[in-house]
Structure 1
Amino acid sequence: MITSSKSEFFFSVLMAIAGAVLLISLFGHMQFNIEALQFRVSAQISEKGYTVVELPPLGTVRAHTHNAPLSLSVRLENIDLQSIQRFLNHNTGRDEIIQQSKTVLRQVAAVFIAKLLALALLGGVTGVFITRKGSPPKYIAGALAGMILAGGLLAATYFTYDSSAFRNPQYSGVLRMAPWMVNLAQETFGKIELLGENLSIIAENLNQIYERVDSLQPIGNETEEFKILHISDLHNNPAGMDFVLQVAGLFGADMIIDTGDITDFGTPLETVLLEQLNHIDIPYFFIPGNHDAPAITEKMEQIPNVTVVKGLVEKYGLTFYGVPDPSSTTSAVTPPDLSTIPRLTRQVQESIDQLGPEKVDIALLHNDKMARSLAGYVPVILFGHNHRMEIHQQGGSILINAGTSGAAGLRGLQTKQIPYSVVLLHFHPGETGKKRLVAADTISVSNLEQGFTLNRIRFDIPPEPD
């Protein structure tokens, strides 16, 4: 009889522990905010003690931080862009941000621990209740078993926790392909302001060289001239954006054409960087690239003077035909399947043919392979994607790749090998009055120490012998 009572008691304790584990797994989570960022923290019983940071849609960062069989997860749930903008406008210092975040995290940790202990207590009581043989001593024992389980796990997590494990974490999703982001945040963001200042000086010097080139290689009546600044692949570089806007102003560009990848991951957070475009006073044509998700396209459509070109658009007597990158319709940061390029290109070729001969003056694309396949169909083809500036003629078409106007984005801040590059296109009225491309100025800032190059290519005169 004593043995039977002990068995029932131990069974009740076992069910209490199971109940505590179940309730912690089902309800062991809570939401909290740090300024404009909303997070969700959760705890799960697991074989190993991992801490997981989830950053949708980029992926996860995971590290084996403690010995207790408890997995902790922190997920970025939402970003309030308006709050971020207000926060940035207040110019809050880095130390103040860190201190505020630590205060919030301590408060969240205290509340979360209390919730887990309460869930464990309730789970222990629930486990005993399920046995249908509960009695006050058993309920008390169940509650204590649940509390001891949760308290033990939390104590073991606290005393064995090693945050340095994140120096060598495991990545998944897009982050698995970009571990450079961790070092980037620590080492290169401080360079942006200096980059902006240096690029501003370079732009001024470029303008002086440009005026000399104009005097040495004049290309007709300036009053009839129409200038388009072709840029591409800014990849979230605010210094690159400032450089582009300054060059457009100094060189008197009448419009800007951006052939895609203005962002890196196409997330809503990156739309904050597009606020710089609110200050432009000339038309800005944009073709989404494979890094520009629907959220980016939607934001661009809301900015004054910005036109997202999808199909046929007429402006200033020129007819443009825009082909957004196929990958820009999803949130996945991937280039289009190469096997689909021929089919997509045929569709574009058929669409241009249906518009009639010489209807389209300039084709705007992001993908370089699709652009080259359109040679012979359109007089001028502008594109980007591969970060290599080039100009060549093929099949009666002039193909122009602006390279990367943001020096491959924030990644470029870690190297001096990738240049900032833009192309200034000069159009003059032809014999029929229709604007035609007569010259292109390639501008490349090799790096901030070695300077820049500016080269003029003429299309209205035969090329000089080598």
Structure 2
Amino acid sequence: MARARLPFRRPIPRRATEGPFAASRPFGMVVVVLFGAWLGLLAVGSVRTTVGPMDTTMTLRPSLSGGTKINVSPLGALELDSHHAPVRLDVDVDRLDPVRSQALVQHPERLAGLEDEVTSDVTSGTRELALRSCVAVVTGATALGLAVYRRPRRALAAGGLALALLAASGVGAYATWNPKSVLEPKFSGLLSSAPSVVGDARSIVSDFDVYQQELARLVTNVTKLYDATSTLPVYSPDPATLRVLHVSDVHLNPAAWHIIGSLVEQYDIDVIIDSGDTMDHGTAVENSFLDPIADLGAPYVWVRGNHDSPVTQKYLSDKKRFPNVHVLDQGRAVTVGGLRVAGIGDPQFTPDRTGPEQAADVQSVAGRTLAAALREQQRSGTPVDIAVAHEPEAVKETDGEVPLALAGHVHHRQNEVLKGGTRLMIEGSTGGGGLRAVQNKKPEQVLASVLYLDRSTRRLQAWDEITLGGLGLTTAEVSRHLPERKPALTSPSPTGPTPSP
């Protein structure tokens, strides 16, 4: 009897979610959760709330670094290193309510309670934002999960994972919360009118006067806004605080005088300290470039850089032409604006950048000369608060002899406390590397710093770093920095009368 043959059956294919495709399932779920949560935050994850006299919109955004960003459109943004978590808090200032603002002007006594009011408003807004964000991420991830998987169970799992991710981010933000970040803000701004007024970089040469005025206006606008948003007490006008503007390496850029003049006015500067390289070649023809210094509105302390010649120094030493200028060399010290400052000129004159093989030894000798002068000042009862030299290698020799040492030369900022306790602050180029900066692929930034010192102890309290985009650019940034709680070295009190400059 013949055996009946069964019909052939094709093997049932494995589900795409098994075998080699199984590994992609977790990755796909992560993508759905993250993208869905992000869409939810974009759609409904924001809260409009009143903060003091301002109407604001608060939003959570995905971020790798965290922090808080306060957008004051179109002027710029204030950034705070408030926390480290994969979410950032964005606060958009929509408008300043004229009624509430006028009430503060007419009734100044209300300012005393403004801080508590703002704190309460922010706390209330943050709570509402947290609740709305939870609903937003769960809704967004669940809806996207349902659209992708078409299975309610997986869609709910995506929503649950999104909520867990947001909760973990909240815990991370809470654990790394830095309440002191408000004391060290960073403001970045954009002068939107400058490109239309000045044009592109090719027209900078022909419209350089306009460009200088726009840069000065940019600094003015940014510092005014920073003044309004800053909360550090030493920033506000205070007779107990000394304000020092540190500039360096102007390199024959006339725009620098407009910027310095604006900073002197906006920050109520007591003393300007220039750590050299004001010129480019140090020739007598360049001397007239220095004439605006007499009208800057503050005492001007200057040391010679390697691009400044003895001819330059002699011209600036003319008291009839520059009654506000104090030229320091060979460790000479002066008392200006309540500060005792000593400095030494660069021993080298190398406008063509020759002779670097001898630089280290020559600078070391100059630094030791300055250090010896500081010790002599200490013995005579007139201790120095700030030492100034152009090259960092020279001023490093004063470590342990003075609380604060200033230098330039390297065209970038550097701040460190040396082994002996002296804080070394190196300023970048306030002239943006000078007009020769157009030779580079990217223009150098324009850099300056405002130092706040206690008038009684002459101890550094804080400093603001001002950064402008280079030649032809119109961006600006102001960032606040605080020294360590216990500075390693402070100015000793004088044991005798302090001589006048």
Q: TM-score range by the shorter chain?
A: 0.5 to 0.7
2:279 corresponds in structure 1 to 263
Kindly indicate whether the alpha-carbon contact (under 8 Å) linking 1:188 and 1:414 is maintained by their aligned counterparts in 2: no
- Considering fraction of residues, name the structure with more helix: 1
SS of match in other structure, 1:260: coil
SS of match in other structure, 1:354: helix
Judging changes above 3 Å, is the alpha-carbon distance between structure 1 residues 409 and 316 closer, same or farther for their aligned structure 2 residues? same
1:422 corresponds in structure 2 to 448
- Worse-matched range after superposition: 302-311 or 231-240: 302-311
Pairing partner for 2:312 from 262, 287, 296: 296
1:351 aligns with 2:373: yes
Distance 1:275 1:450 in 2: 26
Kindly indicate whether the alpha-carbon contact (under 8 Å) linking 1:390 and 1:401 is maintained by their aligned counterparts in 2: yes
Kindly indicate whether the alpha-carbon contact (under 8 Å) linking 2:365 and 2:394 is maintained by their aligned counterparts in 1: no
Judging changes above 3 Å, is the alpha-carbon distance between structure 1 residues 219 and 405 closer, same or farther for their aligned structure 2 residues? closer
Task: Give how far 1:222 is off.
Answer: 1.5
Distance 2:260 2:344 in 1: 23
1:435 aligns with 2:458: yes
- Worse-matched range after superposition: 265-274 or 384-393: 384-393
Judging changes above 3 Å, is the alpha-carbon distance between structure 1 residues 189 and 215 closer, same or farther for their aligned structure 2 residues? same
Kindly indicate whether the alpha-carbon contact (under 8 Å) linking 2:364 and 2:393 is maintained by their aligned counterparts in 1: no
1:410 corresponds in structure 2 to 435
- Give the 5 Å matches for 1:105-254: 189-190=205-206, 192-215=208-231, 218=234, 222-254=238-270
Letter in 2 for 1:417: P
The TM-score normalised by the length of structure 1 is: 0.54
Letter in 1 for 2:266: L
Pairing partner for 2:483 from 447, 459, 462: 459
Judging changes above 3 Å, is the alpha-carbon distance between structure 1 residues 213 and 393 closer, same or farther for their aligned structure 2 residues? farther
Sequence identity (%): 27
Task: Give how far 1:200 is off.
Answer: 1.8
Judging changes above 3 Å, is the alpha-carbon distance between structure 1 residues 187 and 428 closer, same or farther for their aligned structure 2 residues? same
Structure 1 runs, 4 residues or longer, greater than 6 Å off: 330-333
Q: Which runs of 5+ in 2 are unaligned?
A: 1-201, 488-501
1:341 aligns with 2:366: no
Kindly indicate whether the alpha-carbon contact (under 8 Å) linking 1:261 and 1:291 is maintained by their aligned counterparts in 2: yes
Judging changes above 3 Å, is the alpha-carbon distance between structure 1 residues 462 and 215 closer, same or farther for their aligned structure 2 residues? same
What does the per-residue CA deviation read over 1:140-178, in whole Å, with 9 as the maximum and x for residues that have no partner? xxxxxxxxxxxxxxxxxxxxxxxxxxxxxxxxxxxxxxx
Distance 2:235 2:203 in 1: 45
Kindly indicate whether the alpha-carbon contact (under 8 Å) linking 1:300 and 1:306 is maintained by their aligned counterparts in 2: yes
1:279 aligns with 2:279: no
SS of match in other structure, 2:412: coil
User: When the two structures are aligned, how many residues end up with a matched partner?
Assistant: 274
Distance 2:204 2:284 in 1: 22
Judging changes above 3 Å, is the alpha-carbon distance between structure 1 residues 331 and 236 closer, same or farther for their aligned structure 2 residues? closer
- Give the 5 Å matches for 1:57-76: none
1:381 aligns with 2:405: yes
Task: Give how far 1:217 is off.
Answer: 6.1
Letter in 2 for 1:223: P
Distance 2:229 2:386 in 1: 25
Task: Give how far 1:212 is off.
Answer: 3.5
Kindly indicate whether the alpha-carbon contact (under 8 Å) linking 1:321 and 1:363 is maintained by their aligned counterparts in 2: yes
Pairing partner for 2:348 from 324, 327, 338: 327
Distance 2:216 2:237 in 1: 29
Task: Give how far 1:312 is off.
Answer: 1.6
Judging changes above 3 Å, is the alpha-carbon distance between structure 1 residues 322 and 462 closer, same or farther for their aligned structure 2 residues? closer
Judging changes above 3 Å, is the alpha-carbon distance between structure 1 residues 348 and 423 closer, same or farther for their aligned structure 2 residues? same
Distance 2:474 2:306 in 1: 31
Letter in 1 for 2:404: V
The TM-score normalised by the length of structure 2 is: 0.50
1:181 corresponds in structure 2 to none
- Give the 5 Å matches for 1:7-46: none
Task: Give how far 1:461 is off.
Answer: 3.6
Task: Give how far 1:216 is off.
Answer: 5.2
- Considering fraction of residues, name the structure with more strand: 1
